[in-house]
Chains A and B, each alone.
Chain A
Amino acid sequence: MSETMALNRYLLFQVGNELYGTPLLDVREVAEYVEPKFMPNMASYFSGVINIRGSIVGVADLRKRFGQTTQVTRNTALLVCDTTQGPIAVVVDQVDSVITIQDTDLERSPPVMTAVPVEYLTGIAKVEGQLVTIVQLQKLLNEASMAKQSA
């Protein structure tokens, strides 16, 4: 029960005006936004690296990745995820909340064409009358780090 409960828990965040959700366990830590240090020859959606409690973390800009405009606000935050390449921080416009989404509320294969490749898209969830795009952030970041590597 608790396992399922843990599995059903999602972290909601905003990128642009879109509300996204990711499995809670995909995120290792939520951190305040820190201006990343520029690194040469980064991937287009990479912003640089930051220092979180002594460890160097790369910063991926999901907004860029998702084709959204980049703007740092007061609510801009970083979602730190463990990838195969190490921890990667994702810049989001706002961390919204932690919720539990039942499978029944989750539409696995929506008929949409999004900027996120479909293989990382879990589905569309209906939360309090809002539609939330559920993405597998860890996988996406792995892909991204791979893409970085490939780049």
Chain B
Amino acid sequence: MKKKTFALRTKIALATLPLLLSSTFVGYRIYELSQTVDRRAARAVKMIETASDAELHMVQMSEALRGYLLDSTNKSEFERKKVADSEYVESAKNLAELVSDSKEISDLNNEMAKFDEEQLDRVENEVGGLISSGASNAVSFYLKTYMPLRAEQSARFQKLKGMVLKLSADTLSDIEQQKQKEGWIAIYFLIGSICCGLGFLALATGGSIKHISKEVELLTRSSTSLGSTCMTLGGASEVLSHSTKEQASAIQESVSALSEMASMIQQTAENAKRSLQSSVEVEERSHTGQEIMQRMTHSMGAIEQTNQSLQGIAQIIQTINVKAGVINDIVFKTQLLSFNASIEAARAGQYGKGFAVVAEEVGNLAQMSGNAAREIESLLTDSQKQVHSTLEAIKLRVSEGKVVSDESVRAFNEISSSIREVTTQIKNITDATSQQSVGIEQTEKALNQLDLMARKNADTAQTTLQSSETLKRLSGELMTASCSIMGAVSGSKKADALAQAGAAPVATSAHSPVGLHIVANDVSADDQDFKSAA
């Protein structure tokens, strides 16, 4: 619409400007004229009024004088006459001012005033004096002197009145004539300026009208597509509303799931705490076990020492064995001695009889000693054997025990280190769970915000839906408006055609997703504008 030319409004304004100027001028002229007419008419009327007033005052004056004449006691009548006289003077002065531009009337007025002042006042005062003095000739004086003067003055008044009336009538007719003349001039001027303005307007807006038609057509199409877009938008916002609701419910579910998760994590944290306690206890116990194992190792060492003392016992047994051997030797030798003694006793014959018995006894004792020594020897041997076997067994067992205890200690150490590792891991788990809790709290917050946003979105979608409805209605109105504009600009035929043409794109655009998409974009922009406008 806006090319390199002026805007239509400007053009129209430019076209209307001379019209406005001329009409203003004409209006001013008429106003001025009416003012003048009014003034003149008012002046004419005032003139008549003032003349009438003067006459009235004159009549009042004579009436008051007459009244005084009739009732001489009533001095106030004379006073009234005086007041009327002064009022007349006033009126005469006013009239003189009013009729200043008419010499004839002015002269007459002046004459009358002069007459009143010089003749009538004097006579009147004389009459007054006569009346107040109670002279009998007052009435006759009044009749003879005053009345003719009064009549003369009345005649003058009649003349003046006639003159004034004539002047007024002249003025009024003159005004009428002027009015007529001025009216015609104004009408001609107005017609001329209107014609001029219209021509100028037609010249100025000729291009624009075409433009407007085109634009209106475009506008119609736009409004049609706007309508279809509104429908699409409505559907879209409905879908959006629906999906937003779903989203909101999903978020709600997420929030609940999250809270469940949080409680689970809480449980995990508690479990981890308990595990930590348990692991600490286990560690303590493993420490105790280690200590016990160490004590056991010490005990093994003690057993080994015992073994050494057992070896000492074995040595002692060995020594005892040696000593037993000595005893055996002695026994052997004693036996041999006893045998020799027996032999000697037998040689001695009868004399050696007692000695033989002694020798035998000694032999027997030696035998017994020998038996005992042998028993001791065998016992010692057995003891030695047993001690040795015990020693061996203890050695074996101790070494086995040592190995086992070493292994146990190692195992306990490993358990301890494993438990420490487990403790660390549990601590890590605890840390992780606490971090998870924090994260979940934050996520929950975020989700709550999201929920809020979703609700807001739902509200917005609802609003958008309503807005699209409104927009649809507005586009319909726009369509109607553009049709009517077209009708106004280019006639009803073209408007109908336009309406039909406008209806067609609705059908086509409704079936064209691409067009729809493009239009939707445009509309969304429009929608934004609409929103911002709203």
Chain A residues at the B interface, C-beta cutoff of 8 Å: 2-3, 6, 9, 11, 24-25, 27-32, 74-75, 77, 95, 97-98
Contacts and interface: CB of A to CB of B under 8 A. Distances in A.
9 contacts: A9-B342, A24-B343, A27-B343, A30-B339, A30-B343, A31-B336, A32-B332, A75-B332, A98-B339
A77 B363 contact: no
Contacts of B360: 98
A74 B328 contact: yes
Interface in B321-372: 325, 328-329, 332-333, 335-336, 338-340, 342-343, 346-347, 349-350, 353, 359-360, 363, 367
B75 to A, nearest CB: 215
Given A32-B336, A74-B332, A2 B353 contact: yes
B342 A95 contact: no
A26 B169 CA distance: 230
B340 A29 contact: yes
Interface residues of B, number: 21
Contacts of A27: 339, 343
Contacts of A30: 336, 339-340, 343
Given A98-B360, A98-B363, A25 B346 contact: yes
A97 B336 CA distance: 9
A114 B347 CA distance: 30
Contact of B333 (A6, A24, A28, A32): A32
Contacts of A31: 336
B346 A95 contact: no
A25 B342 CA distance: 10
B353 to A, nearest CB: 6
Contacts of A98: 338-339, 342-343, 359-360, 363
A7 to B, nearest CB: 9
Interface string B358-398: 01100100010000000000000000000000000000000
Nearest to A30: B339
Given A32-B333, A74-B328, A77-B336, A97 B367 contact: yes
Contacts of A75: 332
B463 to A, nearest CB: 130
A74 B333 CA distance: 11
A77 B333 CA distance: 10
A72 to B, nearest CB: 13
Nearest to B338: A98
Contacts of A74: 325, 328-329, 332
A25 B343 CA distance: 7
B349 A11 contact: no
Nearest to A12: B339
A6 B338 CA distance: 16
Contacts of A2: 349-350, 353
Given A3-B349, A24-B342, A28-B343, 11 more contacts: A9-B346, A11-B339, A24-B343, A25-B346, A29-B343, A32-B336, A75-B332, A77-B332, A97-B363, A98-B338, A98-B360
A2 B345 CA distance: 11
A6 B346 contact: yes
Contacts of A6: 346, 349
Contacts of A9: 342, 346
Nearest to A9: B346
Contacts of B367: 97
Given A32-B333, A97-B363, A25 B347 contact: yes
A25 B363 CA distance: 17
Given A6-B346, A9-B346, A95 B339 contact: yes
B330 to A, nearest CB: 12
Contacts of B349: 2-3, 6
A28 B153 CA distance: 242
A24 B339 CA distance: 9
A122 to B, nearest CB: 17
Contacts of B339: 11, 27, 30, 95, 98
Nearest to A98: B342
Contacts of B340: 29-30
A27 B333 CA distance: 17
Contacts of B353: 2
B336 A95 contact: yes
A77 B339 CA distance: 12
Contacts of A11: 339, 342-343
A74 to B, nearest CB: 7
A75 B339 CA distance: 14
Nearest to B329: A74
A77 B338 CA distance: 14
Contacts of A95: 335-336, 339
A125 to B, nearest CB: 17
> Which 6 residue pairs across A and B have the least CB separation, nearest first?
A98-B342, A30-B339, A2-B350, A6-B346, A30-B336, A24-B346
